[in-house]
């Protein structure tokens, strides 16, 4: 049986395509260059006595030092822990305490934030993104280290977005990453010679998983440290970008600014978008520009992509999440009985296949809740239609039960989105003395929109049963979201004013 070390993939790509531009960051690197750089870092870890199973934490943006550290660590069997650099000190300290890494590598631009962290958590550090870091790497040899881990050994701990509380460290293996790469590249259009704009942050699985797929396919990764919609269009023109990964809010801003920049985007073939459902209006707007939007349903615990929808599958299924990735398996079960349900029946989405994660780091109790007989119980509600297309209805925890009736927040949100002037909306259940809970809408409206609470309620009445109609509306400047673009509904329930 073939053994997989995810770091060794870089070695193989460097052998096959040594002179191909692999990574464009602060500088340009061929696959050969990057493999040598990763080897140097691997030897650096050896010198520090960091061994198989130990952890290193990366507090870095999408740059070559992140790539170097991850692949260098992977070859050694050292586990990488990417940390969301948008987190506050308390949250960073929690992850460092939980994962207990031996080394923290951080970009120079974060030195003030890390200084605060180091007052509360002692750890050896290396500052990346500097000439000093590059010079220190140059002192180490470029020969291949002995591969120390493989297959089902953990190689990545990706902390979940924490939409419902403290983040949990999802343990992801060599096999998981390899399988996820195959699953993506055999379903969507992503090929050798592509030029991939890597703008979704690496600390999120949607940004990280493409690192492996680009390597697997022999695609060039153009690394972008911060999202700026104007700059994205400019980079697309300059670097002849052919494909990229985004979240819906990125696409929204890109559309908003395009008329100001009017760059040449003819190189770009498609854009993959996920983290939350992509509004149909956005998909069609990009389609009118000749750019296909490939909608992805992804989960950290499934090492990224679960399913994809693209126009060629069936344009009439535009509101679906398409079909599962290659060698991925999905079923819908009754949340209470765990019985498998039939076509178009709504239940919990359960996933299986080589992409299913290993479990939560040092959290057996939470692991047992979601991993049963090798299957991952996602906590998402959905259905599969008679043609095998997947529809994600809502989070199980976000379902509102009012007077014994089930209300899917997403259904109410979709009804409100049809109202002109609504930019963004989230619906949550709030306590009610008679009905237990009732739906409340938090709405972001356009600057000059004249819509009011009654307009929102009437939009619901026109499209929904009476028990699903929101009982209160609160207009807000923006919805609280995590780095992946997901709405933090627990924040809406606890922070914002009640009726």
pLDDT 10s digits, 465-479:
788 899 999 999 888
Looking at the chain, the whole-number percentage of residues with pLDDT higher than 70 is: 97
- Asked if 263 and 236 count as a contact pair (C-beta separation under 8 A), the reply is yes
Mean per-residue pLDDT of the chain: 92
Secondary-structure class of domain 8-384 per CATH: alpha beta
Q: In this model, does residue 393 exceed pLDDT 50?
A: yes
Q: What is the pLDDT of residue 162?
A: 56
Helix, strand, coil distribution of the chain in percent, nearest 5: 35, 25, 40
Q: Is the pLDDT of residue 498 over 60?
A: no
pLDDT band at 398 (very low <50, low <70, confident <90, very high): confident
Q: Which of 328, 332, 372 is nearest to 354 (CA)?
A: 328
What is the pLDDT at residue 251?
A: 93
3-state secondary structure of 322: coil
- Average pLDDT, stretch 152-178? 87
Higher pLDDT, 381 or 276: 381
Place of tokens 């993104």: 129
**pLDDT (tens digit, 9 = 90+) per residue, 104-136?**
999 999 999 999 999 999 999 999 988 888 888
Query: β-strand 220-223 against 243-246: which pairing, if any?
Result: unpaired
Whether the per-residue pLDDT at 495 is higher than 50: the answer is yes
Is the pLDDT at 497 greater than 70? The verdict is no
Q: What percent of the chain has pLDDT over 90?
A: 73
Which tens digits make up the pLDDT trace of 328-339?
999 999 988 999
Q: Are 74 and 56 in contact (CB under 8 A)?
A: no
| DSSP character at residue 204 | S
Mean per-residue pLDDT, 27-39: 97
What CATH number should be reported for the domain whose range is 402-494?
3.30.300.30
- The per-residue pLDDT for 484 is 62
Check if 8-384 and 402-494 are the same fold: no
User: pLDDT per residue over 399-447, tens digit each?
Assistant: 787 877 778 888 899 889 889 889 899 999 888 877 778 899 999 988 8
* 359 Cβ neighbours under 8 A, 6+ residues apart: 171, 367, 371
Domain ranges of the chain: 8-384, 402-494
What is residue 192's predicted lDDT score, i.e. its pLDDT?
94
Question: Of the ranges 222-226, 257-261, 275-279, 459-463, which is most confident?
Answer: 222-226
Please, what's the largest Cα pairwise distance for the chain? Answer: 71
Q: Is the pLDDT of residue 300 over 80?
A: yes
């Amino acid at each position: 049986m073939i053994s997989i070390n995810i770091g060794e993939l870089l070695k193989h790509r460097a052998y096959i395509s040594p002179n191909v531009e692999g990574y464009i960051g602060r500088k340009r690197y061929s696959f050969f260059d990057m493999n040598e750089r990763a080897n140097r870092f691997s030897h650096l870890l050896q010198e520090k006595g960091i061994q198989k199973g130990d952890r290193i934490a990366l507090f870095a943006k999408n740059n070559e030092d992140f790539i170097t550290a991850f692949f260098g660590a992977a070859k050694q069997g050292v586990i990488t822990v990417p940390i969301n650099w948008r987190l506050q000190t308390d949250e960073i300290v929690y992850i460092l305490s939980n994962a207990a890494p031996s080394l923290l590598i951080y970009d120079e631009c974060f030195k003030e934030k890390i200084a605060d962290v180091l007052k509360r958590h002692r750890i050896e550090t290396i500052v990346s993104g500097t000439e000093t870091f590059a010079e220190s790497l140059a002192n180490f040899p470029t020969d291949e280290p002995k591969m120390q881990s493989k297959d089902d050994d953990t190689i990545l701990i990706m902390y979940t977005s924490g939409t419902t509380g403290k983040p949990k460290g999802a343990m992801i293996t060599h096999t998981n990453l390899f399988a996820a790469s195959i699953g993506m590249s055999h379903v969507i259009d992503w090929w050798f010679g592509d030029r991939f704009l890597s703008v979704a942050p690496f600390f999120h699985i949607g940004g990280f998983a493409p690192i492996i797929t680009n390597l697997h396919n022999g695609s060039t990764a153009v690394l972008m440290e911060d999202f700026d919609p104007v700059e994205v269009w400019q980079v697309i023109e300059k670097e002849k970008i052919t494909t990229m990964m985004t979240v819906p809010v990125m696409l929204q801003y890109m559309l908003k600014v395009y008329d100001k920049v009017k760059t040449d985007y003819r190189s770009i073939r498609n854009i993959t978008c996920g983290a939350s459902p992509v509004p149909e209006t956005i998909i069609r707007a990009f389609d009118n520009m000749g750019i296909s939007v490939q909608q992805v349903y992804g989960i950290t615990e499934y090492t990224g992509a679960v399913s994809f929808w693209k126009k060629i599958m069936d344009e009439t299924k535009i509101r679906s999440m398409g079909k599962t990735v290659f060698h991925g398996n999905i079923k819908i079960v009754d949340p209470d009985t765990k019985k498998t349900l039939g076509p178009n029946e709504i239940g919990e989405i359960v996933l299986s296949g080589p992409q299913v994660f290993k479990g939560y780091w040092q959290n057996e109790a939470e692991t047992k809740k979601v991993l049963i007989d090798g299957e991952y119980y996602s906590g998402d509600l959905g259905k599969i239609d008679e043609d095998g297309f997947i529809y994600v209805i809502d989070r199980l925890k976000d379902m509102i039960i009012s007077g014994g009736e089930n209300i899917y927040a997403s259904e109410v949100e979709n009804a409100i989105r049809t109202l002109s002037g609504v930019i963004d909306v989230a619906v949550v259940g709030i306590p009610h003395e008679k009905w237990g809970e009732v739906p409340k809408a938090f709405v972001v409206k356009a600057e000059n929109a004249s819509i009011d609470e009654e307009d929102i309620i009437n939009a619901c009445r026109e499209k929904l049963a009476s028990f699903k109609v929101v009982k209160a509306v609160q207009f807000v400047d923006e919805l609280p979201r995590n780095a992946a673009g997901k709405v933090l509904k627990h924040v809406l329930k606890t922070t914002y004013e009640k009726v």
